[in-house]
Amino acid sequence: MSYDLIKVQQKGRVGIITLNRPKQLNALSPELMQQLGAALQAYDADEGVGAIVITGNEKAFAAGADIAAMKDYSYMAAFLADYITRDWEHIRRIRKPVIAAVAGYALGGGNELAMMCDIVIAAENARFGQPEVNLGVMPGAGGTQRLPRAVGKAKAMDVCLTARMMDAQEAERAGLVSRIVPLEKLMDEALAVAEKIAGCSLPVVMMIKESINRAYESTLAEGVLFERRLFHSQFALADQKEGMAAFLEKRKPTFKHR
Ligand code: CAA
């Protein structure tokens, strides 16, 4: 697939996807989401990539689903086209870690996209919100479900019902964001995080992601059992032998992702 609404670039073992509709503040049209899905799937299938970064520009990560594209939808059209599910949910099947590097607005579907990533790193100017209520609709890409899991019920209700934005500090305190950095350091920090992850054993990294996500879909006992079985399986990895031998020999491990 050729891309005109995103840019893709690989640096070492890190795949970088930049949302690229700056005039529309990266409004997420179905076409953009198809391109994003294709790029994510291509990096996920590429053994040379160990982690993926999604970013926008200084003013906007993404200001939400494309309002101009959806304003005339009918119920039947949205239902039959399975709007959101069809084009937006590829990211849920990506098995490698995905980092959102957020500057500026992450609103509506933009915040929902960030929440579908595994780690959110925010620039100091980042703003997070679910302003759909102002448009006469509700969040439709997981906002009412992922936001309470990330920040708790009180803040999720506040943000979704009043459309107010959280700044980076509030989002970090609330648990939506893992780190805040100055705007000019955003990509350096996101790439450093991605490179660190991509330098670790790929199957181990993938299993950690799968296991943490399992915590949201299972009881504690089931989740811990899932974790234990994955942990046991890792003694079959060459990378486990190498990692532990390197520690004991006081040298850096060289992982082969096997
Ligand atoms: N869809 C389509 N176009 C958008 C857009 C969106 N979500 N957000 C911004 N734009 C466009 C504007 O229409 C404008 O286009 P023109 O220059 O052609 O007029 C351009 O981007 C710049 O936007 P503004 O002039 O509004 O910029 P601003 O700095 O004054 O305000 C903003 C910035 C507060 C983010 C404002 O643009 C805004 O409120 N955007 C909409 C945010 C929103 O409601 N998001 C939720 C969308 S619905 C959704 O996401 C559903 C879901 O859950 C999946």
Owner of token pair 């200084």? 58
> What is the model's pLDDT at position 169?
98
> How far does the centroid of ligand 1 lie from the alpha carbon of residue 183, in Å?
21
Q: Which of 66, 67, 135 to mutate for ligand 1's pocket (most ligand atoms within 8 Å of CB)?
A: 67
> What is the model's pLDDT at position 221?
98
pLDDT, tens digit (0-9, with 9 covering 90-100), for 89-103? 999 999 999 999 999
Nearest ligand 1 atom to alpha carbon 163: 44
Backbone torsions φ then ψ of 79, nearest 5 degrees: -65, -50
**Protein residue with its CA nearest to atom 25 in ligand 1:** 24
What does the pLDDT average to over 226-240? Answer: 98
Beta bridge pairs of residue 122: 102, 180
Q: Any residues with CB less than 8 A from the CB of 213 and at least 6 apart, and which? A: none
**Protein residue with its CA nearest to atom 41 in ligand 1:** 63
> How far does the centroid of ligand 1 lie from the alpha carbon of residue 23, in Å?
10
> What is the model's pLDDT at position 1?
84
> How far does the centroid of ligand 1 lie from the alpha carbon of residue 138, in Å?
16
Which three-class secondary structure state does DSSP give residue 123?
strand
> In Å, how far from its chain's centre is CA 7?
17
This prediction's pTM = 0.97
Q: Which sign does the torsion angle of CA 112, 113, 119, 123 carry? A: negative
> What is the model's pLDDT at position 102?
99
114, 100 in Cβ contact below 8 A?
A: yes
Alpha carbon distance 146, 116 (integer Å): 8
- 108 classed as catalytic: no
Alpha carbon distance 191, 14 (integer Å): 8
| pLDDT, averaged across the chain | 98
Alpha carbon distance 168, 216 (integer Å): 24
pLDDT, tens digit (0-9, with 9 covering 90-100), for 116-144? 999 999 999 999 999 999 999 999 999 99
- 65 classed as catalytic: yes
166, 176 in Cβ contact below 8 A?
A: yes
Query: At residue 192, does pLDDT exceed 90?
Result: yes
Task: Give the long-range contacts of residues 110-114, CB within 8 A, separation 24 or more.
Answer: 110/26, 110/28, 110/56, 110/60, 110/61, 110/62, 110/63, 110/64, 111/64, 111/143, 111/147, 112/139, 112/141, 112/142, 112/143, 112/146, 113/28, 113/54, 113/61, 113/62, 113/88, 113/141, 114/61, 114/176
> How far does the centroid of ligand 1 lie from the alpha carbon of residue 219, in Å?
39
What does the pLDDT average to over 216-229? Answer: 97
pLDDT, tens digit (0-9, with 9 covering 90-100), for 244-254? 999 999 999 99
Alpha carbon distance 133, 96 (integer Å): 33
> What is the model's pLDDT at position 183?
98
Which of 56, 64, 109, 110 is labelled catalytic?
Answer: 109
29 pLDDT band, cuts 50/70/90, is very high
Helix, strand, coil percent content, the chain, rounded in steps of 5: 50, 15, 30
Residues with CB under 6 A from ligand 1: 24-25, 27, 63-68, 84, 105, 107-109, 112, 131-132, 135, 139-141, 143
> How far does the centroid of ligand 1 lie from the alpha carbon of residue 236, in Å?
50
Alpha carbon distance 171, 178 (integer Å): 9
What does the pLDDT average to over 145-172? Answer: 98
53, 191 in Cβ contact below 8 A?
A: yes
Which of 37, 101, 112, 189 is labelled catalytic?
Answer: 112
What does the pLDDT average to over 147-166? Answer: 98
> What is the model's pLDDT at position 246?
98
206 pLDDT band, cuts 50/70/90, is very high
